[in-house]
Amino acid sequence: MMLSSTDISPVYRADRDWRQVLKQAWRKPAELLDYLQLDPLLLKGIEAGQREFPLLAPPAFVRQIEKGNPADPLFLQIFPLVAENQAVKGLLQDPVGDLDSQASPGLLHKYRSRALIITTGACAIHCRYCFRRHFPYSSATGMRVDWPQTLDYIRQHPEITEIILSGGDPLMLPTSQLQDISTKLASLPQIKTLRIHSRMPTTLPERINPALLNWLSGLPFRLVLVHHINHPNEISSQAKDAISTLTPYIQQQLNQAVLLRGVNNKVTTLVNLSEFLFANKILPYYIHQMDPVESAGHFICSDLEALELMDELRISLPGYLLPKLVRECAGEGSKTPV
């Protein structure tokens, strides 16, 4: 039975079991529409999208959605709209070349000094524009980490000094498993920086609990946390408290947003996002042109529109709050400025 909005308190509590909260995530489109007081006609034609990439929306995120508003920017990020059925030329299932970049199962080495570990296929939220929405996590080509091979590869490449934990969302792993990963990485003296990419401080703030903080406090690396926040409305009071709790344990908190039509392709939205981030001790780092993934063509903004937005942002923001507009191109040795 789906909980009502009052069954889970909007007050951040680190002692609440995040796995129990995640069990209350919305998974059935009809139930979510009913809760948000939206027209059930939005269910028409979404069967394929729901089957291929099912709805998953945790309570903290859903509480931030304006009821009765089908154009709400948070709703658009998580609901499988019929627009996903549109055939758009140039869209790919692996738009950033992950499958061609594996150095060993579960390890991607695209950029000289950084390597990325796909720790899990699980997330606390399913974002409709996700560039890994078609990724074969469960198959042999889904890169389940082969740790002996992974560690050997890193040792043989001393230029790798930073490891990125990605997924899925690495914070979906039990803390004991994160500890196991960090212990393996700590056996490599060349690794100086550990970077974690996560949406969980905003989508499932309860994950920021004492066990996680204890793990972070004992890590022998410089720590970078990259948030994935696309709209200022995602930063709830719960999220603010979770981010504040994290701050003493992290050397640098950054944000990378994806430019999404209908979600954040307005100057006022992006200005507010940068200011909200800074108020919470997070620096705006990147605005990504959306990776051209199949089923998400309706989110794409043209380069011209993106560049015009950046021109307005330069006028509106100090330089240290101006994110870089980039795209990821398969086979390139770095992010590509737009």
H-type alpha helices, the chain: 18-22, 29-35, 47-52, 59-62, 73-78, 147-155, 175-186, 200-203, 210-217, 237-246, 267-279, 303-316
Give the tokens for residue 94.
């692996």
- Give the pLDDT confidence score for residue 142 in this predicted structure: 46
CB atoms under 10 Å from CB of 311, counted, come to 11
Three-state DSSP class for residue 305: helix
- Give the pLDDT confidence score for residue 11 in this predicted structure: 67
Least Cα distance to 206 among 181, 176, 241, 174 occurs for: 241
- Give the pLDDT confidence score for residue 138 in this predicted structure: 65
Alpha-carbon radius of gyration of the chain: 19
Q: Tell me which CATH homologous superfamily contains domain 102-337.
A: Aldolase class I (3.20.20.70)
- Give the pLDDT confidence score for residue 12 in this predicted structure: 72
Give the tokens for residue 245.
């709790």
Long-range pairs for 261-264: beta carbons < 8 A, 24 or more residues apart: 261/298, 261/299, 261/300, 261/301, 262/71, 262/73, 262/76, 262/298, 262/299, 263/73, 263/76, 263/77, 263/230, 263/231, 263/299, 264/73, 264/230, 264/231
Distance CA(334)–CA(112), nearest Å, equals 9
Average pLDDT, the chain: 93
- Give the pLDDT confidence score for residue 79 in this predicted structure: 98
pLDDT lower than 70: segments of the chain: 1-11, 14, 138-143
pLDDT digits (tens, 9 = 90+) for 139-179: 544 457 889 999 999 999 999 999 999 999 999 999 999 99
Domain coordinates in residue numbering, the chain: 18-85, 102-337
- Give the pLDDT confidence score for residue 95 in this predicted structure: 83
- Give the pLDDT confidence score for residue 231 in this predicted structure: 99
The size of the chain, in residues, is 338
Long-range pairs for 9-12: beta carbons < 8 A, 24 or more residues apart: 10/60, 10/63, 10/236, 10/237, 10/238, 11/237, 11/238, 12/205, 12/206, 12/237, 12/238, 12/239, 12/241, 12/242, 12/245
Distance CA(193)–CA(28), nearest Å, equals 40
- Give the pLDDT confidence score for residue 7 in this predicted structure: 46
Stated pTM of the model:
0.94
